[in-house]
Chains A and B, each alone.
Chain A
Amino acid sequence: MGKISKTVVVALFLAGGLLLSSCSNTPSDEEMKQLNDLKAEVSSLEKQVAEKQREKAALEKQVAEKNGKLQQCQSDQEAVKKGLGK
């Protein structure tokens, strides 16, 4: 019976130890704050990227329009030259 009690105590310690060791394996508050800050920064960067992509698309459209106008003007110049008989 003494042997059995010993075994039970050892087993309980082992199980308790396992439980406790798993509890102490969690990150500290400071580490959690670090992770949350990082998540917030990533989210802010994602918004920034989306905004910049929109700005870039608008500028690309603007440049394409201006290119079109310039080409039109150059072709107008040719037509006027012809019309004036130069």
Chain B
Amino acid sequence: MKNNHVFSLILFIVVAMLINITPIFAQEEMTKDQWQEQMTSYKAKQADLQAQVTKLNADIEGLKAQSSKLDADLLACEDALYVMLGVTRADVEAFDKELTQMETRVSELQRMSDAELINYKDELAQLDSRIKEMAQSKICLIPRYGDRVKALQDKITALMNSIQKEKTYTVGTWGKDRDCLWNIAKKKDIYANAWMWPKIWQGNRDMIKDPDVIKPKWVLKIPEGNELSKEEKSAANRYYRNKAAAPAEAPKQ
């Protein structure tokens, strides 16, 4: 009887172990049920994705057709617009191209300092004249061109004003400001070049009789340009020759 119980216990353990081992093997290899389950799931996904592809293809075809129709409508609209203005597409394209080039050039000029800009005075005058002609074109009746031309005109006018206004400098004292024609010309906001001092001298002959003498509170005109003219060079040479004949101090107040 006791043996029976022992055997039953061993039997129970063996059976239990075998039953427990089975799922361990099953984890490594898929069961048929799991296979079936995955097949069903993937087939459903496949069907859903195929339906999505079909719908997307139809949507894409629809959009392509819509895009082609819009191209044709836009072309017809633009043609009608140009007929109204009495111009051709080529005229408008050329106008647009020229305007874009001018906008680029004006942007470059806007980045220059007033001193640099003075060298482009003639170009600015040409740009001003051309933009005024362009403003008269019927193409400017198209708002986007009208607005661009107006904006460019304003920029050119502002640039011209900035170089046309006369620059002046009020002389300080030698003790405090070390102001002499040489030092004034050397200032960054004047010529940034001391050798340009004869330009100030020649531009203010009414006040400056001797370039070595300038007085505090004098308001000197600063002529535009970044090179000495022939007359200014001659005046400077005369000054240096006189100095050499009778050496004295550097020009100062």
Contact = CB atoms under 8 A, between A and B. Distances in A.
Interface of A: 1, 4, 7-8, 11-12, 14-16, 18-19, 22-23, 25-27, 31-32, 34-35, 38-39, 41-42, 45-46, 48-49, 52-53, 55-56, 59-60, 62-63, 66-67, 69-70, 72-77, 79-81, 83-84, 86
Interface residues of B, number: 51
B7 A4 contact: yes
Contact of A80 (B18, B38, B59, B142): B142
Given A11-B14, A22-B22, A66-B74, 16 more contacts: A4-B7, A22-B26, A45-B46, A48-B49, A49-B49, A52-B57, A55-B60, A56-B63, A59-B64, A60-B63, A63-B70, A69-B74, A70-B77, A79-B143, A80-B84, A80-B141
A63 B7 CA distance: 83
B161 interface: no
A80 B138 CA distance: 9
B35 A45 contact: no
Closest CB pairs A-B (n = 7): A45-B49, A15-B18, A52-B56, A83-B141, A66-B70, A59-B63, A27-B35
Contacts of A18: 18-19, 22
B74 A25 contact: no
B35 A32 contact: yes
A84 to B, nearest CB: 7
6 contacts: A11-B11, A26-B30, A62-B67, A66-B67, A73-B74, A80-B81
Interface in B1-30: 3-4, 7-8, 11, 14-15, 18-19, 21-22, 25-26, 29-30
A38 B45 CA distance: 10
Interface of B: 3-4, 7-8, 11, 14-15, 18-19, 21-22, 25-26, 29-33, 35, 38-39, 42-43, 45-46, 49-50, 52-53, 56-57, 59-60, 63-64, 66-67, 70-71, 73-74, 77-78, 80-81, 84-85, 141-144
A42 B49 contact: yes
B186 to A, nearest CB: 55
Contacts of A15: 14-15, 18-19
A67 B22 CA distance: 67
Q: How would you classify the secondary structure of chain B's contact residues: helix, strand, loop or mixed?
A: helix
A50 to B, nearest CB: 10
Given A4-B3, A80-B84, A63 B78 contact: no
B46 A79 contact: no
A35 B38 contact: yes
